[in-house]
Structure 1
């Protein structure tokens, strides 16, 4: 039994890289609440915005194959209470933050309440993808998605358009649909970044994967830290690629994340 949850994982990943992180969320009244909060506390995340609600804490049941790939079943639990009212109650924290990171494990109205309160950058990871107000999707800067998620988001924004065939076409189409910047993660092929300066291919950091659980969350936490430090999106994505690869070399999610000072795997030379 290990601490997890996409938002919590992303927060821990950022905090372990010396990010100044505040978490908005919820835990239940069961024993798993302390498990869920343990990693956040250890990483130094500010938990003032995490409330306790009656019922179970969110739970993910993870199975890992011999090649390190994972399959996950998620039970929302207390996460289902992180609605528009709780988001609005964190207005001051949101307005003061350079980066606000959001993913899809909270209710739709909680996500849709965010853009109006964000004065910095809205890093949106719609995982899992749900039906959202197109204006919320277009507020993403960056939108961080894998190929499957990207196709689902694009179908919401351009329902009558023909589906693109290649990663390059996907990110161009998302930009043309009104999204300011996109990071398309491509697993062992690295990622593809699209911003106003153009397309940037970011190489992977080759490693022997032990467990990929939470590696994508480590990527996002590192991406947020890089952007908060003022790095360009491609530069932040290069750091994120290294941090995500490092996470795949250890078991579990949060326990596998690097801290400042840990040696990160080098990026591949190809397409560097």
Structure 2
């Protein structure tokens, strides 16, 4: 069983569905409201765990009414939460999500996720994982120390740079895999073409393209991996997180990068058939049943 460590956010999603987004100063009627479990760190941890990985998460929750539910949800997904701390005096993280025509926009409030500190992560813990997964919903100094530690102990790391923020060339060079979407790519590499940046970073930068799939450069040519068509699109909120959790699982299982991206694309496509970031995340058994599953993909010592 592959061991995946996730450093990242743990939050509650407050989801409003409406026919359109309000203009500035305008109030519009919504069609529905619900809460669900979220946070990019938690989502990616759940995605990996559903596929069968042994997952541990390093993060923080507040001292509010959401904290225990957030941790219990992770434990119910068989995720180790020993490194999740309760921080007094701050709320748990939250995201306000608006769904319009099955697509989303998000306002993120960090809360306790800003309290995940560099000292919460040890080299011994990082070394115990087959791969690490991190996003941009925890402090920069924590992310940079994690990247440095992964380099020191030779643990591969995937950085999903969401939400988008500038990043130094030095730390881009240190990560093994960088997975921006198109808008995040523009923040990371302003004024640069995707073709040029991918060629300079072979087998490192995988740009997710939503319904168009994903693309990377393998050292010889650009590899465009198409998304899997899904008839019943319900909610795209967790698609990117599912992609990253599945990518980590594929890479840690020994799949080639192209195979890992194909596998992650399939998982991300299947995840959008249910409402809520985590609700639609598939198990490995569910993926095996899909016609696009490649029976040559082997996981966890399979032959």
Q: TM-score, normalized by length of structure 1?
A: 0.87
Does 2:286 align with 1:262?
Answer: yes
Unaligned runs of 5+ in 1: 156-161, 165-169
Q: 2:51 aligns with which of 4, 17, 25?
A: 17
> Shift of the alpha carbon at 1:197?
5.2
**Aligned twin of 1:111:** 143
SS at 2:162 equivalent? coil
**Aligned twin of 1:101:** 133
After superposition, the Cα gap between the structure-2 partners of 1:217 and 1:142, relative to the gap in structure 1 and judged at 3 Å, is same
Moved more, 56-65 or 191-200: 191-200
Q: Is the 8 A contact 2:202 2:217 kept in 1?
A: no
Q: TM-score, normalized by length of structure 2?
A: 0.79
Q: Compute the RMSD of aligned alpha carbons.
A: 1.8
How many correspondences in the alignment? 253
After TM superposition, the runs of 4+ consecutive aligned structure 1 residues lying more than 3 A away are: 195-198, 263-268
**Aligned twin of 2:211:** 188
CA–CA separation in structure 2 for the residues paired with 1:62 and 1:265: 29
Q: What are the superposed Cα offsets for residues 147-199 of structure 1, whole Å, 9 maximum, x if unpaired?
A: 111121123xxxxxx432xxxxx1541452x5751111111111102234542
Q: What are the superposed Cα offsets for residues 4-50 of structure 1, whole Å, 9 maximum, x if unpaired?
A: 10010000000010011110110111111123223311111111111
**Aligned twin of 1:62:** 97
Does 2:260 align with 1:236?
Answer: yes
CA–CA separation in structure 2 for the residues paired with 1:24 and 1:196: 34
After superposition, the Cα gap between the structure-2 partners of 1:97 and 1:60, relative to the gap in structure 1 and judged at 3 Å, is same
CA–CA separation in structure 2 for the residues paired with 1:64 and 1:30: 26
Higher helix share: 1
CA–CA separation in structure 2 for the residues paired with 1:144 and 1:171: 15
Q: Is the 8 A contact 1:70 1:212 kept in 2?
A: yes
Q: Is the 8 A contact 1:192 1:199 kept in 2?
A: yes
Q: What are the superposed Cα offsets for residues 39-71 of structure 1, whole Å, 9 maximum, x if unpaired?
A: 311111111111111121000111111x21011
Q: 1:215 aligns with which of 239, 260, 266?
A: 239
**Aligned twin of 1:27:** 61
Higher strand share: 2
